[in-house]
Structure 1
């Protein structure tokens, strides 16, 4: 009864190595709870077959697939909006094979991604204008010959993928809501909704299914809402709230590295790297600093610089005041 009946792992995005987990829970694998309170949303008619927690790429893709199979579902997301940070960016073959079946999504990604020759290399250097210590072409012929897979890998920022997925969901009838609590005339949680600003705080089972409590802030006040479903799926990332609430632990070491991620745009830097040393990742090593520059799109000049962060010796606030000269002096200029 305490064992998780099904755990699925989705691979697809790369930040260095990023895994998105989906945890599925039914009413028979959580601790039983006699409570049937629903705070205004109750009864068998209001129970969804599937409720998804987490509106990242995994949750959004799952919503599309379930809807295509005729399974009613809805999504809860604790953030009040979708991230504008590039986040993960490398999509592997298997994910692209799934996307290939989603109304041509794979083809659309390939059309909008940067040209392959601009991102196929990892570059190791003393600075972005300094000595190149070496470079590695991480792409192989099999990545493009379509013998192993009918579609190739892709380099496409997560926020751009999210935008395409939301467009597909709206096309099949989904609505994105960010107005906090459901209106009083919403007598039940309708399927095909993505409810932003709803943070999952507890999970319990009843005789009729799974009850999920979500916390919502509206007009500066916190409130709770309860939702009923047959199956709950957690697609809320590596620090999954769903995983923690159902008591699933993580094995291995924690906090192996802390990084400061600096998202910035520079057309000049993008043009320079396109002409002089195109690549996806730039590993920068010199006596003053080390870091990794992720070139999300050289043509658009969009980058994320990841710099090691060592608390308590360093404070996060230290980076905000010296970020521009720090970037320029230690990462972008020539080091003798």
Structure 2
């Protein structure tokens, strides 16, 4: 995941996680996950999740509701404040209904649907409109195919709601401080730890992580019964256990600019409300993602073609051509 991520990417495959469980016996697996099973070694986590994005946090909440002990590793030292992904489909919202009113919270805090249901094609944000498409259908909102509707809600806001729920059931967000001489406990989200190796030994998985302390890289080994890779499209876990990424790679490079402008948000809200603005003019082309018109939060994405182009070519004049 880059600095801003690809904000137009949808949550369409939110829970279609590719994973590999490294264990030999199904019945052993079932016993290890059971809340009634008492491990001889309390230092061994039943489930270790790598990745504290929406998938990892939701999985943590669901496992905890089922009585399965788990903890989370995250390579970033802090949670991102950039919008990132923003469209949540019906199936994901159905899962969120099982998390103590999460779906209802998202629907309550998201922008009104009339402000984001359209895709706008234009020569510039203040210029002529080439056309617009209402990408929502009746069944998206009238509970025809699902008991809950789709949503438009930035990923960092979703993460904040998930963290609030996890903290309510005893989860703690920690750095490496205070963990050097003790095992990773259940219901902990450990920040700043990068998974660097995975090794199966008997019925256990030994995960080696690396973190920086006082300018030095320090390694720590965390044993678990099950390891889940929820660390995104460039998953380190997937690569370490030999699961290939299917499909075409590196389809397009984009320069993304996250910015706030209540003035622009107010203008678009009254003149041409929409979620995505596809802008075409002789100076440049790009897509503006309107995460929240009321708050004036946007991400501008422009195609980037190295080596013909350099990042330095994208001056403020080029970026804000619209």
Determine if the TM-score, normalized by the shorter chain, exceeds 0.5: yes
Q: Distance in 2 between matches of 1:327 and 1:63?
A: 39
Shift of 1:109: 0.5
Shift of 1:17: 4.6
Quick check: 1:227 aligned with 2:219?
A: no
Q: Distance in 2 between matches of 1:130 and 1:288?
A: 14
Shift of 1:22: 4.4
- Match in the other structure for 1:297: 292
Question: Secondary structure at 1:27's aligned position in 2?
Answer: coil
Q: What 5-or-longer segments of structure 2 have no aligned partner? A: 1-5, 26-39
Shift of 1:26: 2.2
Q: What 5-or-longer segments of structure 1 have no aligned partner? A: 1-12, 30-42, 332-336
- Match in the other structure for 2:188: 193
- Match in the other structure for 1:264: 259
Shift of 1:183: 4.0
Q: Distance in 1 between matches of 2:212 and 2:10?
A: 34
> Residues 208-245 of structure 1, C-alpha deviation per residue, up to 9 Å, x if partnerless?
41000000111111000001111000000000001100
Q: Distance in 1 between matches of 2:81 and 2:18?
A: 23
Change (3 A) 1:316 1:267: same
- Match in the other structure for 2:79: 82
Q: Distance in 2 between matches of 1:100 and 1:14?
A: 24
Quick check: 1:28 aligned with 2:53?
A: no
Q: How does 1:137-176 map to 2 (within 5 A)?
A: 137-176=134-173
Q: Distance in 1 between matches of 2:8 and 2:271?
A: 24
Q: How does 1:7-22 map to 2 (within 5 A)?
A: 15-17=8-10, 19=13, 21-22=17-18
Quick check: 188-197 or 246-255, which moved more? 246-255
Quick check: 1:53 aligned with 2:50?
A: yes
- Match in the other structure for 2:3: none
- Match in the other structure for 2:99: 102
Q: Distance in 1 between matches of 2:123 and 2:41?
A: 63
TM-score, length-normalised on structure 2? 0.90
TM-score, length-normalised on structure 1? 0.86
* Aligned 8 A contact 1:113 1:155 in 2: yes
Q: Distance in 2 between matches of 1:272 and 1:15?
A: 22
Q: Distance in 1 between matches of 2:195 and 2:281?
A: 44
